[in-house]
Amino acid sequence: MMNLDTTVELLRDFLRIDTTNPPGNEEKGALFLQEFLRREGLSSDIYVAVPGRANILSRIKGSLNGKPIILLGHIDVVPAKRDEWMCDPFAAEVKDGFIYGRGAIDMKAQVICQLAAFVDYARQGVIPKRDIIFLATCDEEVGGDHGVEFMLDAVPELKDASFVLSEGGSMFEENGSVHAQVSVTEKRLSQFILKAAGRGGHGSMPHGDNANEKIVAAARRILAYKWPLKAMPVTSAYFDGVLKDQYAENIKFPGLKDALRTREWRNCLERNEMYNSVLRNTVTLTILKGGEKVNVIPSESCAYFDSRLLPSQTHDKFFEKIKKLAGNDVAIERIGEKIPSPGPSQYNTVYFQGIKEAMQALKGNIPVLPFVTTGATDMRYFRDLGIPSYGFFPVTLTKEQHMRMHGKDERISLANIKEGLDGCRAIVNFLASDRIP
Ligand SMILES: [Zn+2]
């Protein structure tokens, strides 16, 4: 079996391969994984989408044909600014029990733990019921065209998968208690640009047709609007599990639907960044561009918004409201909508039950709950095909650790690697078992 030290060293070597996307260069990462699999006596195939951008697939053959189980991960990472980090984001330094590196949480550690569990299963020599496929792809962080989308064409059998396990959920530690968030759906990406045109001129002579002022006024109205807090079956199940027996200003949690009708509970839910973002549409102003000189009135200006919609919200209804708020002085350009936004995966399934039992066997009687990922992942491609797809990496993260994802000083603890290894093994054992339909 892969021991902790070997797994940690494997992860550190993987983190040292710079797969910042753009441009990606994931082929180096895929070759690294292939070399490891080769040393373990397992064959694999590399699928190059465009020069330098590659995906890798390895398989443990099952006793039945078709409907494989996929352990999915991505090789690419988001950019890291060296000067903002306290150490080199691609040196995989270990300090105070943590491995630092871009991709530590998102998601090279999960790729390595899934790989270790996959290799360990293969070493046992037991034949799983369904094929178990280890798949690591490129291009997740920028759209997925060369990654999952490319692979679904290159290996059509993937479209017939019975189940996909990937990122988006983990165990979460808050106020001393731990629960597992198994992501079964994600919010819809709905980004847009506000554009304004006006009349240029000298800053000393305002004329009321200033592109920047139009953008500021429209952005203020958009940002001031409070999107309604809404309960969905997934979030009701989640909050009913997490907040059971909790109090907000002396009022016991009455269930999500009723909580949203109670002022005290609404305030409490809104104040928590994570709760707030899974209960409503969010609209975030991320880029402002306008003007070049302090004494010149700009004739053009624009603002970029990153909005994430509840899975039940349609793009068209959302933009009806945005248009009203923005007013007539600005134009709206919708971006990022080509990405499919399918409905949730079911969670009254043997897969959910199996993961729950595996985690409770390792962690005691913790709540294992369905969850909504606020970011977008490659699982949307599989959910779009109706394949049950869960985001879950069995490690316990604090909110602080979670927030470092895509931020500075991203890190994962050595204790997490141990947990991830044990958890992935337990989950792979279940996924290979006769309980899978
Ligand atoms: Zn990711």
What is the whole-number distance in angstroms between the Cα of residue 39 and the centre of ligand 1?
27
For the cut 70, the answer to whether the pLDDT of residue 330 exceeds it is yes
What is the whole-number distance in angstroms between the Cα of residue 378 and the centre of ligand 1?
8
What is the whole-number distance in angstroms between the Cα of residue 140 and the centre of ligand 1?
7
| Span 266-287, average pLDDT | 96
Residues 6+ apart with CB under 8 A from 409: 85, 86, 87, 100
What is the whole-number distance in angstroms between the Cα of residue 137 and the centre of ligand 1?
11
| Span 355-363, average pLDDT | 97
What is the whole-number distance in angstroms between the Cα of residue 96 and the centre of ligand 1?
25
What is the whole-number distance in angstroms between the Cα of residue 390 and the centre of ligand 1?
13
What is the whole-number distance in angstroms between the Cα of residue 376 and the centre of ligand 1?
8
pLDDT at 337: 73
What is the whole-number distance in angstroms between the Cα of residue 128 and the centre of ligand 1?
28
User: Rounded to 10 degrees, what is the CA torsion of 304, 308, 312, 315?
Assistant: 10
Nearest residue to 273 (alpha-carbon basis) of 263, 282, 264, 261: 282
What is the whole-number distance in angstroms between the Cα of residue 286 and the centre of ligand 1?
20
| Span 78-106, average pLDDT | 96
What is the whole-number distance in angstroms between the Cα of residue 73 and the centre of ligand 1?
8
Q: What is the pLDDT of residues 117-135, one digit of tens each?
A: 999 999 999 999 999 999 9
CA distance 191 to 414: 37
H-helix or E-strand containing 39? helix 26-39
CATH of 188-335 among 3.40.50.450, 3.30.70.360, 3.30.1330.40, 1.10.1050.10: 3.30.70.360
What is the DSSP code (8-state) at residue 306? E
What is the whole-number distance in angstroms between the Cα of residue 100 and the centre of ligand 1?
16
Q: What is the pLDDT of residues 8-51, one digit of tens each?
A: 999 999 999 999 999 999 999 999 999 999 999 999 999 999 99
What is the whole-number distance in angstroms between the Cα of residue 395 and the centre of ligand 1?
15
Average pLDDT, the chain: 95
pLDDT at 186: 93
What is the whole-number distance in angstroms between the Cα of residue 55 and the centre of ligand 1?
15
Query: Could you tell me how far CA 344 lies from the centroid of its own chain?
Result: 15
Percent of the residues in the chain that have a pLDDT greater than 70, as a whole number: 99
Continuous H helices in 327-378? 350-363
What is the whole-number distance in angstroms between the Cα of residue 405 and the centre of ligand 1?
9
Percent of the residues in the chain that have a pLDDT greater than 90, as a whole number: 92
Which position has the token pair 């000083």? 409
What is the whole-number distance in angstroms between the Cα of residue 327 and the centre of ligand 1?
36
Name the β-bridge partners of 165: 71, 390
CA distance 109 to 424: 11
Domains 4-186+341-431 and 188-335 in one fold: no
pLDDT at 336: 74
For the cut 90, the answer to whether the pLDDT of residue 351 exceeds it is yes
CATH of 4-186+341-431 among 1.10.760.10, 3.40.50.10740, 3.40.630.10, 3.30.160.60: 3.40.630.10
User: Rounded to 10 degrees, what is the CA torsion of 338, 344, 345, 349?
Assistant: 180
Report the first-to-last Cα separation within the chain, whole angstroms. 27
CA distance 103 to 57: 20
Query: Could you tell me how far CA 231 lies from the centroid of its own chain?
Result: 21
What is the whole-number distance in angstroms between the Cα of residue 377 and the centre of ligand 1?
6
pLDDT at 204: 96
CA distance 188 to 172: 23
pLDDT at 353: 98
pLDDT at 339: 67
Which position has the token pair 């890798």? 56
Task: Give domain limits for the chain.
Answer: 4-186+341-431, 188-335
Name the β-bridge partners of 288: 303
| Span 226-255, average pLDDT | 95
pLDDT at 232: 94
What is the whole-number distance in angstroms between the Cα of residue 74 and the centre of ligand 1?
7
Which position has the token pair 């988001």? 78
What is the whole-number distance in angstroms between the Cα of residue 141 and the centre of ligand 1?
7
What is the whole-number distance in angstroms between the Cα of residue 182 and the centre of ligand 1?
15
The lowest-confidence range among 79-88, 220-229, 397-406 is 397-406
CA distance 398 to 374: 17
Q: How far is CA 117 from CA 51, 113, 190, 286, 426, in A?
A: 30, 6, 36, 39, 8
pTM equals: 0.93
What is the whole-number distance in angstroms between the Cα of residue 166 and the centre of ligand 1?
9
Give the pair of three-digit tokens for residue 429. Answer: 């054992």
What is the whole-number distance in angstroms between the Cα of residue 325 and the centre of ligand 1?
33
pLDDT at 338: 67
